[in-house]
Amino acid sequence: AKVLRRGDFYGARIDTALPQRQPLPRPDLRQYRIGVGPVAVFGASNFPLAFSVAGGDTAAALAAGCPVVFKAHSGHLITSELVADAIERAVKRSGVPAGTFNMIYGDRVGAQLVKSAGIQAVGFTGSLRGGRALCDMAAARPQPIPVFAEMSSINPIIVLPQALATRGEATARDLIGSVVVGVGQLCTSPGLVLGVRSPELTKFIEQLREATLAQSPATMLNSAGLKTYGGG
């Protein structure tokens, strides 16, 4: 809030005029950042709060002076409605324009939203397939628009030989703990482990397998996540 009140985000630059400059005078030049316009935001299925209706993309767009059209995720519609109601109350109390925040529903409205001439940018958190589709739509517009997307995080982990030699078993437990937190649905989950081929690495892989088998079943957020997991 302090940064917003100070206006740092404007990045204002003023180059005063130099009328006596040779061979040509320099005019007064002024530059500052302004909002690009309405932003379409697509919420993530695995973060109903942090990266959804009132998440980082929405906050960033509003802070930049851009109204938001939020596409509610089908995985948590009621949660989305409750948070949107809270935002709407804040909009009314703050006295900002009524169209500052909007939320729409529907499985097939995303493409129409991105292609709409009024939308000037897109924020997306989700799968590589979904994000790439939005990027292609945005690029194909008569006036292409930027897509700010976090897609399909891999999060590679490098395991060094010294770590395997001194604390291999503990590292295996900690790694699996990171993998299965949130039933493995968080974008911070490690997805690729790199190590130097050795007997210690072979033992480490076996420890990973044992630690995985020791995990208890848990409920995933929605059927789509379960289906994707089942398909590998």
Write down the domain spans for the chain: 34-150, 156-230
DSSP 3-state of 149: strand
Task: Please say if 187 is a catalytic residue.
Answer: yes
Tokens 């998440």 — which residue?
55
| Whether pLDDT at 152 is above 90 | no
d(CA 161, CA 76): 43
Check pLDDT > 80 for residue 202.
Answer: yes
Q: Which of 88, 135, 169, 187 is catalytic?
A: 187
What is the chain's mean pLDDT, rounded?
Answer: 92
What pLDDT, on the 0 to 100 scale, is given for residue 14? 95
pLDDT at 214 over 90: yes
pLDDT band per the 50, 70, 90 thresholds, residue 119: very high
Catalytic residue of the set 81, 88, 135, 150:
150
Which two three-digit tokens encode residue 74? 């089908």
Cα 180 to Cα 5: distance, rounded to the nearest angstrom: 41
Q: Could you give the dihedral angle defined by the CA atoms of residues 27, 30, 35 and 36, in that order, rounded to the nearest 10 degrees?
A: 20
* Distance, C-alpha 219 to centroid of its chain: 23
Report the CATH superfamily, name and number, of domain 34-150: Aldehyde Dehydrogenase; Chain A, domain 1 (3.40.605.10)
d(CA 154, CA 193): 10
Place of tokens 């997307």: 149
Q: What is the DSSP letter of 152?
A: -
Q: Token pair of 117, please?
A: 């001439």
Q: Is the pLDDT of residue 225 over 90?
A: no
What is the fold, at CATH topology level, of the domain defined by 156-230?
Answer: Aldehyde Dehydrogenase; Chain A, domain 2 (3.40.309)
Helix (H, G, I), strand (E, B) or coil at 43: coil
pLDDT bin (cut points 50, 70, 90) of residue 90 is very high
Using the predicted structure, report yes or no on whether residue 77 has a pLDDT greater than 90: yes
d(CA 4, CA 6): 5
Per-residue pLDDT tens digits for 13-63: 999 999 999 999 999 999 999 999 999 999 888 888 878 999 999 999 998
Average pLDDT (124-146) is 95
Pair type for strands 147-151 and 156-159? unpaired
Is 81 among the residues known to form the active site? Answer: no
Residue 42 neighbours by CB under 8 Å, 6+ apart? 71, 73, 110, 122, 123, 124, 125, 126, 130, 134
User: For 91, left (φ over 0), alpha (ψ -120 to 50), or beta?
Assistant: alpha
- H or E element in which residue 63 lies: helix 56-63
CA distances, 114 to each of 119, 121, 221 (Å): 7, 8, 26
